[in-house]
Structure 1
Amino acid sequence: MAPTPNYQQQYLKAKVETASPGDLTLLLYEELHRKLNMARVLYQKGQFSEMMDRLHGARSILYEFIATLNFEYEISHQLRQLYDYYIRRIGDFAVNKDISILDEVIEFAREYTDTWRQALAQVKSAKGKS
Protein backbone atom coordinates (compact mmCIF):
# COMPACT_ATOMS: atom_id res chain seq x y z
CA MET A 1 0.00 0.00 0.00
CA ALA A 2 1.41 3.41 -0.99
CA PRO A 3 1.81 6.02 1.73
CA THR A 4 -0.90 8.67 1.88
CA PRO A 5 0.43 12.04 0.74
CA ASN A 6 0.40 14.76 3.35
CA TYR A 7 -1.51 17.50 1.55
CA GLN A 8 -0.92 20.02 4.32
CA GLN A 9 2.86 19.61 3.97
CA GLN A 10 2.62 19.81 0.19
CA TYR A 11 0.52 22.98 0.45
CA LEU A 12 2.98 24.58 2.88
CA LYS A 13 5.93 23.61 0.68
CA ALA A 14 4.29 25.22 -2.36
CA LYS A 15 3.38 28.30 -0.31
CA VAL A 16 6.98 28.74 0.85
CA GLU A 17 8.49 28.09 -2.59
CA THR A 18 6.27 30.72 -4.25
CA ALA A 19 6.29 33.35 -1.49
CA SER A 20 7.90 36.75 -1.79
CA PRO A 21 10.59 37.68 0.78
CA GLY A 22 7.97 39.71 2.67
CA ASP A 23 5.53 36.82 2.68
CA LEU A 24 8.29 34.47 3.87
CA THR A 25 9.02 36.79 6.77
CA LEU A 26 5.33 36.77 7.68
CA LEU A 27 5.27 32.96 7.51
CA LEU A 28 8.24 32.83 9.89
CA TYR A 29 6.61 35.22 12.35
CA GLU A 30 3.41 33.17 12.21
CA GLU A 31 5.38 29.98 12.82
CA LEU A 32 7.26 31.60 15.71
CA HIS A 33 3.95 32.57 17.30
CA ARG A 34 2.49 29.11 16.69
CA LYS A 35 5.50 27.31 18.22
CA LEU A 36 5.47 29.54 21.30
CA ASN A 37 1.74 29.04 21.82
CA MET A 38 2.15 25.29 21.47
CA ALA A 39 5.03 25.37 23.97
CA ARG A 40 2.68 27.09 26.43
CA VAL A 41 -0.01 24.43 25.94
CA LEU A 42 2.53 21.63 26.33
CA TYR A 43 3.95 23.25 29.49
CA GLN A 44 0.47 23.37 30.99
CA LYS A 45 0.01 19.68 30.15
CA GLY A 46 3.35 18.80 31.74
CA GLN A 47 4.78 17.61 28.41
CA PHE A 48 8.19 19.18 28.93
CA SER A 49 10.16 17.31 26.28
CA GLU A 50 7.70 18.32 23.56
CA MET A 51 7.62 21.84 25.00
CA MET A 52 11.41 22.08 24.70
CA ASP A 53 11.19 20.96 21.05
CA ARG A 54 8.84 23.89 20.31
CA LEU A 55 11.06 26.31 22.22
CA HIS A 56 14.09 25.10 20.26
CA GLY A 57 12.15 25.67 17.03
CA ALA A 58 11.20 29.18 18.15
CA ARG A 59 14.82 30.00 18.94
CA SER A 60 15.86 28.65 15.54
CA ILE A 61 13.45 31.05 13.85
CA LEU A 62 14.88 33.98 15.83
CA TYR A 63 18.40 32.91 14.83
CA GLU A 64 17.25 32.78 11.21
CA PHE A 65 15.95 36.34 11.50
CA ILE A 66 19.37 37.41 12.83
CA ALA A 67 21.17 35.61 10.00
CA THR A 68 19.19 37.50 7.37
CA LEU A 69 19.70 41.01 8.78
CA ASN A 70 21.55 43.54 6.63
CA PHE A 71 23.78 45.45 9.03
CA GLU A 72 24.26 48.32 6.60
CA TYR A 73 21.05 49.66 8.15
CA GLU A 74 20.77 50.88 11.74
CA ILE A 75 17.45 49.12 12.26
CA SER A 76 19.19 45.79 11.72
CA HIS A 77 21.35 46.42 14.79
CA GLN A 78 18.24 47.22 16.80
CA LEU A 79 16.45 44.10 15.55
CA ARG A 80 19.50 42.00 16.43
CA GLN A 81 19.32 43.26 20.01
CA LEU A 82 15.59 42.57 20.11
CA TYR A 83 15.94 39.03 18.75
CA ASP A 84 18.86 38.32 21.11
CA TYR A 85 16.75 39.52 24.02
CA TYR A 86 13.88 37.15 23.16
CA ILE A 87 16.26 34.25 22.58
CA ARG A 88 17.53 34.85 26.14
CA ARG A 89 13.96 35.12 27.45
CA ILE A 90 13.10 31.73 25.94
CA GLY A 91 16.14 30.33 27.75
CA ASP A 92 15.03 32.04 30.97
CA PHE A 93 11.63 30.38 30.68
CA ALA A 94 13.18 26.98 29.98
CA VAL A 95 15.21 27.27 33.20
CA ASN A 96 12.75 29.02 35.52
CA LYS A 97 9.41 27.73 34.15
CA ASP A 98 7.86 31.14 34.87
CA ILE A 99 4.87 31.32 32.52
CA SER A 100 4.91 35.13 32.55
CA ILE A 101 8.28 35.01 30.74
CA LEU A 102 6.84 32.82 28.00
CA ASP A 103 3.78 35.06 27.77
CA GLU A 104 6.10 38.03 27.20
CA VAL A 105 7.74 36.26 24.25
CA ILE A 106 4.37 35.15 22.87
CA GLU A 107 3.13 38.75 23.00
CA PHE A 108 6.22 39.92 21.09
CA ALA A 109 5.63 37.25 18.41
CA ARG A 110 1.93 38.15 18.14
CA GLU A 111 2.64 41.88 17.83
CA TYR A 112 5.33 41.40 15.18
CA THR A 113 3.13 38.98 13.24
CA ASP A 114 0.29 41.51 13.24
CA THR A 115 2.60 44.41 12.37
CA TRP A 116 4.23 42.50 9.50
CA ARG A 117 0.82 41.42 8.17
CA GLN A 118 -0.35 45.07 8.18
CA ALA A 119 2.85 46.26 6.50
CA LEU A 120 2.48 43.69 3.72
CA ALA A 121 -1.14 44.66 3.20
CA GLN A 122 -0.13 48.32 2.86
CA VAL A 123 2.64 47.49 0.38
CA LYS A 124 0.30 45.33 -1.70
CA SER A 125 -2.39 48.02 -1.57
CA ALA A 126 0.07 50.68 -2.70
CA LYS A 127 1.23 48.48 -5.59
CA GLY A 128 -2.37 47.99 -6.67
CA LYS A 129 -2.90 51.77 -6.83
CA SER A 130 0.20 52.50 -8.94
Structure 2
Amino acid sequence: MINHQAQETYLRMQVQTAAPWELTTLLFSGCIKFMKQAMDAINRKDYEAKNLYIKKSVDIIDELTITLNRDYDIAHQLASLYTYMKDQLFQANIKNHVDFIQECVVMLTELRDTWVQAMKTLHTSRVNA
Protein backbone atom coordinates (compact mmCIF):
# COMPACT_ATOMS: atom_id res chain seq x y z
CA MET A 1 0.00 0.00 0.00
CA ILE A 2 2.76 2.46 0.90
CA ASN A 3 4.71 1.59 -2.24
CA HIS A 4 1.59 2.19 -4.37
CA GLN A 5 1.01 5.58 -2.72
CA ALA A 6 4.64 6.58 -3.21
CA GLN A 7 4.45 5.61 -6.87
CA GLU A 8 1.26 7.63 -7.39
CA THR A 9 2.80 10.64 -5.64
CA TYR A 10 5.90 10.37 -7.84
CA LEU A 11 3.81 10.13 -11.02
CA ARG A 12 1.64 13.07 -9.98
CA MET A 13 4.74 15.21 -9.33
CA GLN A 14 6.25 14.10 -12.64
CA VAL A 15 3.12 15.23 -14.50
CA GLN A 16 2.80 18.50 -12.56
CA THR A 17 6.40 19.52 -13.23
CA ALA A 18 6.73 18.28 -16.82
CA ALA A 19 7.08 20.54 -19.82
CA PRO A 20 4.31 20.17 -22.44
CA TRP A 21 6.51 18.06 -24.72
CA GLU A 22 7.35 15.80 -21.77
CA LEU A 23 3.64 15.31 -21.06
CA THR A 24 3.20 14.04 -24.61
CA THR A 25 6.09 11.64 -24.04
CA LEU A 26 4.46 10.44 -20.81
CA LEU A 27 1.19 9.84 -22.69
CA PHE A 28 3.01 7.80 -25.36
CA SER A 29 4.82 5.75 -22.72
CA GLY A 30 1.68 5.20 -20.66
CA CYS A 31 -0.26 4.03 -23.68
CA ILE A 32 2.53 1.61 -24.66
CA LYS A 33 2.58 0.26 -21.10
CA PHE A 34 -1.19 -0.30 -21.07
CA MET A 35 -1.12 -1.99 -24.48
CA LYS A 36 1.59 -4.38 -23.27
CA GLN A 37 -0.48 -5.10 -20.17
CA ALA A 38 -3.48 -5.83 -22.43
CA MET A 39 -1.40 -8.31 -24.43
CA ASP A 40 -0.29 -9.98 -21.22
CA ALA A 41 -3.90 -10.16 -20.04
CA ILE A 42 -4.95 -11.82 -23.31
CA ASN A 43 -2.18 -14.36 -22.91
CA ARG A 44 -3.39 -15.06 -19.35
CA LYS A 45 -7.01 -15.20 -20.58
CA ASP A 46 -7.88 -12.40 -18.14
CA TYR A 47 -10.43 -10.73 -20.38
CA GLU A 48 -11.61 -8.24 -17.77
CA ALA A 49 -8.07 -6.87 -17.38
CA LYS A 50 -7.59 -6.91 -21.17
CA ASN A 51 -10.68 -4.78 -21.60
CA LEU A 52 -9.54 -2.35 -18.90
CA TYR A 53 -6.06 -1.89 -20.40
CA ILE A 54 -7.39 -1.49 -23.92
CA LYS A 55 -9.85 1.13 -22.65
CA LYS A 56 -7.01 3.00 -20.94
CA SER A 57 -4.98 2.84 -24.16
CA VAL A 58 -7.88 4.18 -26.21
CA ASP A 59 -8.43 6.98 -23.68
CA ILE A 60 -4.81 8.06 -24.06
CA ILE A 61 -5.02 7.90 -27.86
CA ASP A 62 -8.13 10.09 -27.64
CA GLU A 63 -6.17 12.58 -25.51
CA LEU A 64 -3.31 12.57 -28.03
CA THR A 65 -5.84 13.21 -30.81
CA ILE A 66 -7.52 16.08 -28.96
CA THR A 67 -4.21 17.85 -28.34
CA LEU A 68 -3.12 17.84 -32.00
CA ASN A 69 -2.56 21.28 -33.50
CA ARG A 70 -4.64 21.04 -36.68
CA ASP A 71 -2.80 24.00 -38.23
CA TYR A 72 -0.14 21.56 -39.45
CA ASP A 73 -0.54 18.85 -42.08
CA ILE A 74 1.22 16.31 -39.90
CA ALA A 75 -1.56 16.63 -37.33
CA HIS A 76 -4.04 15.24 -39.86
CA GLN A 77 -1.70 12.34 -40.62
CA LEU A 78 -1.28 11.63 -36.91
CA ALA A 79 -5.05 11.78 -36.42
CA SER A 80 -5.45 9.12 -39.12
CA LEU A 81 -2.76 6.99 -37.48
CA TYR A 82 -4.46 7.32 -34.09
CA THR A 83 -7.81 6.32 -35.64
CA TYR A 84 -6.15 3.27 -37.18
CA MET A 85 -4.62 2.32 -33.82
CA LYS A 86 -7.98 2.62 -32.09
CA ASP A 87 -9.54 0.37 -34.74
CA GLN A 88 -6.78 -2.19 -34.18
CA LEU A 89 -7.30 -2.06 -30.42
CA PHE A 90 -11.04 -2.56 -30.85
CA GLN A 91 -10.33 -5.60 -33.06
CA ALA A 92 -7.95 -6.95 -30.43
CA ASN A 93 -10.60 -6.50 -27.77
CA ILE A 94 -13.21 -8.34 -29.83
CA LYS A 95 -11.00 -11.12 -31.20
CA ASN A 96 -8.52 -11.48 -28.31
CA HIS A 97 -5.53 -11.37 -30.67
CA VAL A 98 -2.32 -9.80 -29.43
CA ASP A 99 -1.09 -9.21 -33.00
CA PHE A 100 -3.43 -6.23 -33.36
CA ILE A 101 -2.02 -4.69 -30.20
CA GLN A 102 1.60 -5.56 -31.03
CA GLU A 103 1.31 -3.58 -34.27
CA CYS A 104 0.13 -0.56 -32.27
CA VAL A 105 2.94 -0.96 -29.74
CA VAL A 106 5.52 -0.93 -32.54
CA MET A 107 3.98 2.13 -34.23
CA LEU A 108 3.55 4.11 -31.01
CA THR A 109 7.05 3.23 -29.79
CA GLU A 110 8.51 4.51 -33.06
CA LEU A 111 6.37 7.63 -32.82
CA ARG A 112 7.42 8.25 -29.21
CA ASP A 113 11.11 7.75 -29.99
CA THR A 114 10.87 10.10 -32.99
CA TRP A 115 9.05 12.67 -30.85
CA VAL A 116 11.71 12.53 -28.12
CA GLN A 117 14.52 12.87 -30.67
CA ALA A 118 12.78 15.82 -32.36
CA MET A 119 12.29 17.58 -29.02
CA LYS A 120 15.92 17.01 -28.03
CA THR A 121 17.06 18.41 -31.38
CA LEU A 122 14.75 21.41 -31.00
CA HIS A 123 15.95 22.17 -27.47
CA THR A 124 19.60 21.72 -28.45
CA SER A 125 19.21 24.12 -31.36
CA ARG A 126 17.54 26.69 -29.09
CA VAL A 127 20.33 26.45 -26.53
CA ASN A 128 22.98 26.84 -29.23
CA ALA A 129 21.21 29.75 -30.94
TM score, norm. by length of structure 2: 0.91
Inter-partner Cα distance in structure 2 for 1:73 and 1:125? 23
- After the TM superposition, which segments of 4 or more aligned residues of structure 1 sit over 6 Å from their partners? none
Matching residue of 1:110? 109
Q: CA deviation at 1:53?
A: 0.4
The DSSP-based 3-state class of the residue aligned with 1:70 is: coil
Inter-partner Cα distance in structure 1 for 2:104 and 2:50? 14
Inter-partner Cα distance in structure 2 for 1:118 and 1:73? 19
Please tell me whether the aligned partners of residues 42 and 97 of structure 2 are also in contact (alpha carbons under 8 angstroms). no
Matching residue of 1:26? 25
One-letter identity of the residue aligned with 1:63: D
Identify the range of structure 1 (102-111 vs 119-128) with the bigger mean alpha-carbon deviation.
119-128
Matched-pair identity in %: 25
Aligned residues: 128
Inter-partner Cα distance in structure 2 for 1:121 and 1:67? 23
One-letter identity of the residue aligned with 1:100: D
One-letter identity of the residue aligned with 1:125: T
Please tell me whether the aligned partners of residues 35 and 57 of structure 2 are also in contact (alpha carbons under 8 angstroms). yes
Q: CA deviation at 1:127?
A: 3.0
The DSSP-based 3-state class of the residue aligned with 2:70 is: coil
Structure 2: gaps of 5 or more residues: none
Inter-partner Cα distance in structure 1 for 2:11 and 2:126? 25
Matching residue of 2:65? 66
Q: CA deviation at 1:108?
A: 1.1
The DSSP-based 3-state class of the residue aligned with 2:45 is: coil
Identify the range of structure 1 (29-38 vs 3-12) with the bigger mean alpha-carbon deviation.
3-12
Q: CA deviation at 1:63?
A: 0.5
Query: Map of 1:1-130 to 2, 5 A cutoff?
Result: 4=2, 6-130=5-129
TM score, norm. by length of structure 1: 0.90
Structure 1: gaps of 5 or more residues: none
One-letter identity of the residue aligned with 2:60: I
The DSSP-based 3-state class of the residue aligned with 1:72 is: coil
Please tell me whether the aligned partners of residues 50 and 93 of structure 2 are also in contact (alpha carbons under 8 angstroms). no
